[in-house]
Structure 1
Amino acid sequence: MTDKKKHLYYLNELSDYKVDSDDPDVRGWPVKDVDNRVIGKVDNLLVSKERKRVVYLDVEVDSSIIDANHDPYGKPAEDNIHEFINKEGQNHLIIPIGLARLNTSEKYVYSDRINHRTFAETKRMEKGYDVTREYEVAVLESYNRDLEDTGPRKHESAEAIENRKKELDDYERSRHVDEDQIYDENTEAARRKGRVVDDDAFYDRGEFDRDKYRK
């Protein structure tokens, strides 16, 4: 990848960046799904230099995710670039900061709505991969595919249902961008979804709401 297209950096690549003083350093913390099942551990943090903040957790997945052997959800943005399967050595995935929650007393990260199967069906990457916007979109589509189910779930509180409805509203708003923001009009993702944006307005989406992460 050329520097022109590189828009995310691993925290350990940036000597002048450090974890926000309001946040714990979660590197090394276990990551759990909505059912309290470990799906991996935080290996690194991905930073938007434009926004000067962390936007993703880079997670080294647990062997149970790989052993599930699910094909990734969705389709590749460009069929001629990467075959859309999870290959040997691809044992990392990213979680947007606003879809992660912290348990600071027991020192783990968790999701309050993504289950083990969804994580297992999300497109993975190799450690240290230069994350592309197309990959980001594929991951978000995988995590957001169940948002339209706003009905009650087992053991789910009324507050949790309302939070999911709000997330759906945020997601739907984030799907619409101006035509002049399209990252590459020739990619299938841009034609199909119209929201692969070139600049960091992408991180205005609800999935990157840091207030949710800090709760």
Structure 2
Amino acid sequence: MPENNKNLYYLDDLSGYKVASNDSDVRGWEIIDADNRTVGKVDGLLANKETKRVIYLDIEVDKSLIEDGHEVYNKSANEGVHEFVNKEGENHLIIPIGLVRLDDENEKVLTDEINHDTFAKTKRFIKGAKLDRNYELTVYKNYFPEKGGNEDDLKDDKFYDRQEFNR
């Protein structure tokens, strides 16, 4: 992917970018879903250079989530059609920063809006893969099926102005 079309960068890969001194660095923290189940651990922070802020948490998913995800795709076609099947080794996913809250005392990241089943059905990727807007749109539509709306609205320059990307 050409550099000028890239939207997301790992914070570790950007010189001069770091977690603000008044914010917690959540890398390595467990992420807990709306059902109070472990989703995985925060492996990285994804930033957008234009907005100069972290947009997503990169989650290395828990094995239980991967196993739940396999069950989803073992159902017959008449029980629902799926656009993709996660492949072996795809054990990371992203969550918009505005969907989490921090439990600093216990070093946990909590989401009250997304449950284990939704995470299990979310398209994952292999660590280090370049993430493009198509992947972001797939994840966004999975987390917010009611907001799917017009694809063009999701592709514009104001994509990150949504409340889901603000903390």
Give the TM-score band, short-chain normalised. 0.7 to 0.9
- Structure 1 residue ranges without an equivalent (≥5): 76-83, 149-170, 177-192, 211-215
Confirm whether residue 204 of structure 1 aligns to residue 161 of structure 2.
Answer: yes
Q: CA RMSD in A?
A: 1.8
Structure with greater contact order relative to length (CA < 8 Å, sep ≥ 6): 2
State the shift of 1:198 in Å: 4.8
User: How many equivalent pairs are there?
Assistant: 158
Partner secondary structure for residue 195 of structure 1:
helix
Q: Is the 8 A contact 1:74 1:142 kept in 2?
A: no
Provide TM-score, normalisation by structure 2: 0.87
Moved over 2 A (4+): 193-196
Determine the structure 2 residue equivalent to 1:15: 15
Identity of aligned residues (%): 54
CA deviations on 1:155-193 (whole Å, 9 max, x unpaired) are xxxxxxxxxxxxxxxx58xx56xxxxxxxxxxxxxxxx3
Determine the structure 2 residue equivalent to 1:138: 138
Determine the structure 1 residue equivalent to 2:76: none
Structure 2: how far apart are the matches of 1:115 and 1:196? 23
Structure 2: how far apart are the matches of 1:74 and 1:11? 32
Structure 2: how far apart are the matches of 1:41 and 1:85? 22
Structure 1: how far apart are the matches of 2:161 and 2:82? 23
Determine the structure 2 residue equivalent to 1:62: 62
- Structure 2 residue ranges without an equivalent (≥5): 74-80
Structure (1 or 2) with the greater strand fraction:
2
Determine the structure 1 residue equivalent to 2:78: none
State the shift of 1:74 in Å: 5.8
Determine the structure 2 residue equivalent to 1:194: 152
